[in-house]
């Protein structure tokens, strides 16, 4: 299904409801450590299902945490309550929908023995996810879309769901945050939907979300990240070591790419027994998703993404601290080798500090 246009409205509604196979409960799951695109998509889908079947009990749940200030503020204003997956009860009698992620993608908490009823996403499928998708009754993946929110907003329009101010505000923030105000990886559909939604938005609230106030810890993270920034040719990066807030990885990656001379940023950190990596590219044809998969999958991790935004994670359970530290280091060197083409990578220089710190040094946490 390419677009709602041309397709009969009843068909979309019927197909979504049919996928639930008579379940009176639906849990909409986002990817772990959900971002605005994931939250907005989940709320949009919840509104669609509520409209189609008011009897169906819909919950929105996520794995991981919501760490970023903007996302926490957004969460307060969402038109639906969102809860950690750990608080979902009676998991056996539920239909699942995944938004902004796919089964077996490695970044969601859908139990491995479960197949979702509905998957709506804009990430390119991988061979692992494809298999699970074959068992999923309703699949809509449009990797040409800059945000998953855009797909779901087309559903809202198609089915004729009234879009409240709170919903419109969430949807617009989902699209704008995912695409950096339509400047990054946005498609024509993202631009059209965004423009149609803007008149419905509470702009004051939108601004409050985007320019959220931050706690002191945020500044400590930024200080440590900046202190440890390295540059190598056109690449800028930072290794954060163990962190309490996984969202900081993507945030720092975005921040570093603001450097006027750099075309790639890379940030690694350690959270919840996983080494996580985030990539950003300035070029809209950089294939960052492919790059990170080549880097991470050969080590047994999961990764994915788009042209300019990508990330991955590597489960490190059972590895020693020094092994993880070594892995972290070699990941960066591998990445530098891959994107610069330099076989023997050396002289990675600090950007602002006198010398780079080892974020894994004992007693330095």
Tell me which residues in 142-161 interact with Mn ion (CB under 5 A).
Answer: 148
Which tokens hold the place of 258?
Answer: 């603001």
100 binds Mn ion (CB under 5 A): yes
Burial of 97 (0-12, 13-18, 19+ CB in 10 A): buried
**Which residue of the chain is nearest Mn ion when measured via CB?**
37
**Cβ proximity to Mn ion, 82 vs 148, nearer residue:** 148
**Cβ proximity to Mn ion, 37 vs 70, nearer residue:** 37
Selected range binding Mn ion among 43-51, 98-106, 220-228, 260-268, rule: CB under 5 A: 98-106
Which tokens hold the place of 190?
Answer: 């993202």
Which tokens hold the place of 257?
Answer: 């790419």
**Cβ proximity to Mn ion, 144 vs 160, nearer residue:** 144
Quick one: which of 267, 272, 246, 243 has its CA closest to 255? 267
The sign of the dihedral angle between the CA atoms of 101, 197, 257, 359 is negative
State how far Cα 151 lies from the chain centre: 15
Distance CA 3, CA 188 (A): 12
Concatenated DSSP letters of 312-351: EEEE-TT--HHHHHHHHHHHHHHHHHHHH--SS---PEES
Which tokens hold the place of 329?
Answer: 């280091």
Selected range binding Mn ion among 140-148, 165-173, 181-189, 206-214, rule: CB under 5 A: 140-148
Selected range binding Mn ion among 33-41, 80-88, 192-200, 308-316, rule: CB under 5 A: 33-41
190 binds Mn ion (CB under 5 A): no
**Cβ proximity to Mn ion, 37 vs 328, nearer residue:** 37
Selected range binding Mn ion among 30-38, 90-98, 266-274, 275-283, rule: CB under 5 A: 30-38
Selected range binding Mn ion among 96-104, 225-233, 263-271, 332-340, rule: CB under 5 A: 96-104
Contact by Cβ (8 Å): 50, 13: no
**Cβ proximity to Mn ion, 100 vs 328, nearer residue:** 100
Q: C-beta of 350: minimal distance to Mn ion in Å?
A: 33
70 binds Mn ion (CB under 5 A): no
| DSSP strand pairing (229-232 vs 349-350) | antiparallel
Q: C-beta of 321: minimal distance to Mn ion in Å?
A: 33
Q: Where does this chain bind Mn ion (CB under 5 A)? A: 37, 100, 148
């Amino acid at each position: 299904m390419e677009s709602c246009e041309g397709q009969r409205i009843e068909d979309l509604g019927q197909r979504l409801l049919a996928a639930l196979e008579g379940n009176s409960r639906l849990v909409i799951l986002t990817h772990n450590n959900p971002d605005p695109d994931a939250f907005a998509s989940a709320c949009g889908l919840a509104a669609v299902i509520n409209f189609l079947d008011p009897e169906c009990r819909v919950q929105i749940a996520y794995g991981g945490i919501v760490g970023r200030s903007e996302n926490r503020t957004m969460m307060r204003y969402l038109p639906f309550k969102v809860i950690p997956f750990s608080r979902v009860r009676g998991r056996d009698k539920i239909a699942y929908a995944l938004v902004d992620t796919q089964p077996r993608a490695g970044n969601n908490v859908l139990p491995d023995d479960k197949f979702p009823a509905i998957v709506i996403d804009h990430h390119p499928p991988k061979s692992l996810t494809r298999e699970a998708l074959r068992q999923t009754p309703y699949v809509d993946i449009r990797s040409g879309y800059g945000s998953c929110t855009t797909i779901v907003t087309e559903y809202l329009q198609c089915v004729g769901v009234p879009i409240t101010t709170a919903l419109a505000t969430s949807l617009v923030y989902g699209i704008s945050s995912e695409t950096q105000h339509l400047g990054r990886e946005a498609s024509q559909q993202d631009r059209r939907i965004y423009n149609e939604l803007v008149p419905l938005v509470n702009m004051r609230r939108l601004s409050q979300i985007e320019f959220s106030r931050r706690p002191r810890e945020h500044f400590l993270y930024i200080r440590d990240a900046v202190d440890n920034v390295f540059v190598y040719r056109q690449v800028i990066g930072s290794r954060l070591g163990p962190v309490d807030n996984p969202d900081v990885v993507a945030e720092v990656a975005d921040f570093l790419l603001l450097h006027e001379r750099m075309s790639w940023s890379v940030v690694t950190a350690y959270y919840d027994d996983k080494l996580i990596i985030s990539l950003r590219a300035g070029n809209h044809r950089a294939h960052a998703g492919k790059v990170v998969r080549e880097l991470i999958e050969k080590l047994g991790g999961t990764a994915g993404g788009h042209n300019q935004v990508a990330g991955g994670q590597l489960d490190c359970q059972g590895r020693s601290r020094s092994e993880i530290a070594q892995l972290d280091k070699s990941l960066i060197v591998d990445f530098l080798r891959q994107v610069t083409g330099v076989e023997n990578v050396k002289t990675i220089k600090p950007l602002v500090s006198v010398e780079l710190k080892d974020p894994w040094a004992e007693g330095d946490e």
